[in-house]
Amino acid sequence: MHDLSSSAFPATAETLRLAALEAARQAASLLKSHFRSGVQVEEKTNTHDLVTRIDRQSQELITRRLRQAVPDSWVLGEELVETDAGTRAPGKVQWIVDPIDGTSNFVHGIAFFCVSIAAAIDDQLVAAAIIDPVSGDEFSANLDAAYLNGTVLQPGPRPEQARANLMTDYPGAESMLKDGPLAMGLLGEWIQGFATVRRKVSAALALAHVAAGWCDATIGFDTKVWDVAAGAHLVRMAGGSYRGLGYGAQFAADHLCPGFIAQGPGADYPALNSAAERIRELRTV
């Protein structure tokens, strides 16, 4: 296992942050040029899970750029592409890529989607980049800090739950089937317990907003590693907390878990902890 503290690998983490940013910028330009242009849509698994040719083009572009920047690295992306993605091996840099997080928003002309890239070594996150193509905001992190458009992110302590802003995509169609009446019950409790609850349909960009201090917390229960890896690193490096939810199973790292709670600095919201425990109990029966 590598010692990935900032003192041990500062140059590596910063180099990976810059490489991720450059690849994300190129992909973000592609996405922006096709936004609200009537892109043809396909269904991946169902009507709630969409993909476009731009997803695949973005994945190909990112994969090529990252492999050029770090030739011995390998890429785990949401979309399967023909571009050489490298071979996993201990000590190698792993890129975790979502070429469009929030494809449904992208397809429907809603300006809340992003490009998300994380770098990990032996399952430990070391760098991240998330770019919002519409606003142009660039979120990134190495092992020293998180940044927004080159400025260090230092959000202040988050408010108490009754005054806090929650973003969540829960419950979705899949989780409503899994969790039954509990799903809508939890949403109702959050609407009553938080000042606002917003459903944005992009876990990566919601996490970036927590890192920036624009959102106080976000929670998810049916996520994939490419949805959350970059955002998890951003939140932590900005002084917040990220906890993976494994429903009783063991995972090598929090960002590999199928659920999460992310909160801004100093926040510890009872409604989110309670929801995580109740879903764990339901799903591990």
3-state secondary structure of 281: helix
pTM for the model:
0.92
- pLDDT-derived band at 53 (thresholds 50, 70, 90) equals confident
d(CA 250, CA 247): 9
Per the DSSP assignment, residues forming a β-bridge with 49 are none
pLDDT tens sequence across 234-268? 999 999 999 999 998 999 999 999 999 999 999 99
Cβ neighbours, 10 Å, residue 247: 15
**188-235 per-position pLDDT tens digit:** 999 999 999 999 999 999 999 999 999 999 999 999 999 999 999 999
Q: How confident is the model at residue 74 (pLDDT cuts 50, 70, 90)?
A: very high
Q: Given this model, what pLDDT does residue 130 score? A: 98
Which phi and psi (to 5°) does residue 209 adopt?
Answer: -70, -35
Contact predicate 224/202, CB 8 Å: no
Distance CA 225, CA 223 (A): 7
Contacts of 155 (CB under 8 A, 6+ apart): 211, 212, 213, 238, 239, 240, 264, 265
Mean pLDDT for the chain?
91
CA-to-CA separations, 82 to 22, 72, 165, 208, 254, in angstroms, rounded: 21, 18, 41, 29, 29
Residue type, 61: L
pLDDT at residue 284, rounded to an integer:
86
At 44, is the secondary structure helix, strand, or coil?
coil
Q: What pLDDT, on a 0 to 100 scale, did the predictor assign at position 138?
A: 98
Please name the residues in contact with 202: beta carbons below 8 A apart, sequence gap of 6 or more: 101, 102, 105, 112, 113, 114
